[in-house]
Amino acid sequence: MEKNAVIIDLKNISVSFDGQPVLKNINLYIRDGEFVTLLGPSGCGKTTTLRIIAGFQAPDSGEVIFEGKVINGVPAHKRQVNTIFQRYALFPNRNVFDNVAFGLEQKKLPKAEIRKTVEEMLALVNLKGFEKRRISSLSGGQQQRVAIARALAVKPRVLLLDEPLGALDLKLRKDMQVELKNIQQRLGITFIYVTHDQEEALSMSDTIVVLDNGEIQQIGTPTDIYNEPKNAFVADFIGESNILDGIMHEDFSVEFHGMRFQCVDKGFGKDEPVDVVVRPEDVDIVPPEEGMLRGVVTSVTFKGVHYEIIVDIDGFKWMVQTTGYSAVGDEIGLSIKPDEIQVMKKSAYSGLYGDYSSFSEEFDELSDPDSESSDDAPAEV
C-alpha cells in the first residue's frame, strides 16, 4: 500500500442508541501511518466511532471502508485492527510471555516464531526480562506496556486505543504519551487514539478530530486546531480561551468591547456579527494608559511558570497568563497584537462559552468528563 494513502474511510456513518442519535452522518478518512486522535467530552461519540472501526458496533447507516473495500458486516476478529482499552483485559492467570503470545497462539503459529515475536515486542515496550513475571506483580504502567505488546504482536494494520492511559498517574501518563508516540513512529502503523485530554491530543497527534454531540466540529493538525479554532466549542475545549461577541466591520477590522482592533482575518460580510477568540498567553499586560483595553485584576493564581490573572473589563472576565505579577485590585492595561486575534463565524455554540466569571479549578474538576468512564456507548455483552 502506498504510504500516506487512505487506509480507513468512514462515509455517512450514523448511529442511535434507544432512539437517541450518537453519531450524525460522520465522514472521516484516515491515512496509513497516521496518528489520529478522536477528541471530545464524554458522550460526544468518539468511543462509538472507534467501536465501529473495530467491528464491535454496526452503524445504522453508512459505510466503513478499509483499503478501498467496504467491511460492514466483517466481524472484529477478521479485521486488520486491534484494540487497547482503558482496562487492559490481561489474563491474570498467565505470565507476561503468555499474555503477549495469546493472539499468536490463536493463529497457531510455530513456537519458535511466537517466541521471537514476543521477545521483539517486549523489547519494544522496554519489558525485556519480564517474560516470567505474573501480571498481578506489575505496576499499572507495566501492565499497560504488556497490553500494547500483546496488541502489536499480531501485527495489526491499525491500532485502536480507547483512553489507554486513563488509569495511570499524571507523571506516568506523560511518560507513556512520549513512549506511545515513539512506538508508533518506529513501527509506522496507524494509531487511532480516543481521549478527552486536550494536552494529550496536542502532544501526540498528527491529526486531531474534535467531536461534540455526535458531529465532527473540526479536523486539523494540533497547531491548526489550537491557533485557528472553527467555532466557540473548539476554542473553549482546546485550552483556555477568552471568547467575545464581536462585529467584523470589514476585512482586517473587528470590534469588541466597543473598540476596533486590527486583525488578520478577512472574507466576512460587512458588519457581520462574529465570535472573537484571544488566548490568555497572547495578551500583554501594560500600564493602564498604554492599554487597548483597561480593567481591574480580580484574581491571581501562581501556576509555577506563570501567573493566571482574571481581569474584569466592563463586567467581562478575561483570563491572562503572564510571567509578570499583578495584585488583586490593580488597574492594568491589555495589549493584543493583530495576529493574536482569531475571528470565527457565529455558530450554535455562540454565547455558551466566553468569560471566566465562574472560573475556578474546583469547578473545573467537578465538571471533568473523565470522572469515572470514557465510554459513550453501551458495553459489549
**113-148 residue pLDDT tens:** 999 999 999 998 889 999 999 998 998 888 888 999
Q: How far apart are CA 310 and CA 257, in angstroms?
A: 16
What is the average pLDDT across 236-240? 92
Residues forming beta bridges with residue 248, ordered by sequence position? 254, 272
Give one DSSP letter per residue of 121-184, joined into a string: HHHHTT-TT-TT-BGGGS-HHHHHHHHHHHHHHT--SEEEEESTTTTS-HHHHHHHHHHHHHHH
pTM of this structure: 0.87
Question: What's phi and psi for 124, nearest 5 deg?
Answer: -60, -40
What cell was used for 371? 470522572
Per DSSP, helices labelled H in the chain are 46-54, 96-106, 111-124, 140-153, 170-187, 198-204, 222-227, 232-237, 361-366
Q: How far apart are CA 137 and CA 143, in angstroms?
A: 9
DSSP structure class, residue 289: G
> For 244-303, how does the pLDDT look when each residue is reduced to its tens digit (9 = 90+)?
999 999 999 999 999 999 999 999 999 999 999 999 999 999 999 999 999 999 999 999
Is the pLDDT assigned to residue 86 strictly greater than 90?
Answer: no
> For 331-375, how does the pLDDT look when each residue is reduced to its tens digit (9 = 90+)?
999 999 999 999 999 999 999 988 898 655 444 444 444 444 444
pLDDT of residue 16: 96
Q: What is the CA radius of gyration of the chain?
A: 24
